[in-house]
Amino acid sequence: MGKKLKVGIIGAGRIGKVHTLSIMNYIPEVEIKAISDIYFDAAKEWAEQNGIPVATADYKEILNDPEIDAVLVCSSTDTHSQISVEAAKAGKHIFCEKPVDLTIPKVEAVIDAAKEAGVKLQIGFNRRFDHNFRKVRELIKDGTLGDIHILKITSRDPEPPSAQYAAASGGMFMDMTIHDFDMARFMMGSEPTEIYVASACLVDPAIGEAGDVDTAIITIRFENGGLCVIDNSRKAVYGYDQRVEAFGSKGKAEISNDTPSTAVWSTAEGVFGEKPKYFFLERYMDSFADEMKQFMAAIINDTETPVVGFDGLQPIKMGLAAKKSVLEGRPVKLSEIV
């Protein structure tokens, strides 16, 4: 093994910490040189705990460090685009958390900047790397299921965010469904053409008052002729519900949720099993590590990243189409979103 790849992490919040640990535990070829956070103490404390040499309040310090090969943009969503553009200009490879931005031009700016600078760009759609979803994708890719006619995605959170957060995040479609939009494209291997949403506010009236919805059934048509339906809820009392069913001309594939154990117990009262793993950190921890491994491998081997800039753009368009469908009460073509 030659010189280690050096990376900087921008943002010491929850996801920045997850990526820190993935790299330290599983990717010996990579060294975290620096971490930044606008709350300097957060960066400093995390750096000390994990032996990261540099902590700073200013991400530009990371961009200006000539030793650093790649950056992970884990800051707040509204800063993703600008930092990523600057990182590209600084010649750093970029792993950018989702969503890249809530507007199309800013996402496109990142894609263009990365292209111009010739740096790798990977978007943080970690669920593509999940063992369950990946298996279904393989069964589609290898032809086991034939042409996909109907794709069903269930995506329900265990708890709604605060109404305040819900509104600020761009709403349910941009904050939560965006993962499902990506999953739909990933599974279908085709591009969406039309979206219709039936949504409601059934979980928390405060979310409705803040102008958002918390429950939705989203129908999507794809270029390949296939149909997709996503059902979302901000609150599944039994826990995080993350499933997909792909139905095609040659068969179907389904996944069930991961559980803390496979135990089933039976008493005079009934038969009992485990609830799903609680939330995304429990359920998707391995997928965070795998996306990181593949990002680093793409840099080391100079190959394409597994989730490119266009994969960051399309879900934004789908989210905008979904919002328009709710507003106008009709199916909306993706071509209307510009």
User: Considering only residues 228-267, where is the footprint of a copy of itself by CB under 8 A?
Assistant: 228-229, 231, 233, 235-239, 241, 247, 249-258, 260-267
Closest distance to a copy of itself from the beta carbon of 173 (Å): 15
The site that binds a copy of itself (CB under 8 A) totals a number of residues, namely 72
Minimum Å gap between C-beta 219 and a copy of itself is 5
Q: Which amino acid is at 220?
A: I
Q: Which is nearer to a copy of itself, 61 or 194 (CB)?
A: 194
Comparison of 256 and 335: residue with beta carbon closer to a copy of itself: 256
| Distance in angstroms (rounded) separating the CA atoms of residues 312 and 197 | 21
| Pairing mode, strands 270-273 and 264-267 | antiparallel
The 279-308 site mask, x for binding a copy of itself (CB under 8 A), equals: ------------------------------
Minimum distance of a copy of itself from residue 98's CB (angstroms): 23
The greatest distance separating any two alpha carbons of the chain, rounded to the nearest whole angstrom, comes to: 67
Our finding on whether 159 is near a copy of itself (CB under 8 A) is: no
CB of 71 to a copy of itself, least distance (A): 24
Tell me the closest approach of the beta carbon of residue 41 to a copy of itself, in angstroms. Answer: 18
The helix-helix angle for 104-117 and 77-89 (nearest 10°) equals 20
> Shortest Cβ distance from residue 81 to a copy of itself (Å)?
33
Distance of alpha carbon 51 from its chain centroid, rounded? 28
Among 14, 39, 116, 150, binds a copy of itself (CB under 8 A): 150
Question: Which residues in the 22-51 window bind a copy of itself by CB under 8 A?
Answer: 24-26, 28, 49
Q: Which of 267, 290, 264, 287 lies closest to 275, judged by CA?
A: 264
Task: Please report how close the Cβ of residue 209 comes to a copy of itself at its closest, in angstroms.
Answer: 16
Q: Looking at beta carbons only, is 148 or 316 nearer to a copy of itself?
A: 148
Our CB check for a copy of itself shows the closer of 226 and 315 to be 226
Q: How far apart are CA 288 and CA 306, in angstroms?
A: 13
The residue among 244, 316, 311, 235 whose CA lies nearest residue 279 is 235
By the rule CB under 8 A, 53 interacts with a copy of itself: no
H or E stretch including 282? helix 280-300
In this structure, the strands spanning 148-156 and 227-233 are: parallel
Ranges of beta strands (E only) in the chain are 5-10, 30-36, 54-56, 70-73, 93-96, 121-123, 148-156, 192-200, 215-222, 227-233, 241-248, 251-254, 264-267, 270-273, 332-333
Q: Does 225 bind a copy of itself (CB under 8 A)?
A: yes
List the x/- string, 65-104, binding to a copy of itself by CB under 8 A.
----------------------------------------
Q: Are 35 and 16 in contact (CB under 8 A)?
A: yes
Closest approach of Cβ 132 to a copy of itself, in Å?
A: 5
**Residue with smaller CB distance to a copy of itself, 61 or 241:** 241
Residue that has been written with the tokens 């149909």 in this structure: 227
From 2-10, 60-68, 90-98, 135-143, span contacting a copy of itself (CB under 8 A): 135-143
Out of 227, 300, 308, 337, which residue is the one contacting a copy of itself (CB under 8 A)?
A: 227
Tell me if 139 contacts a copy of itself by CB under 8 A. yes
Q: Binding to a copy of itself by residue 272, rule CB under 8 A?
A: yes
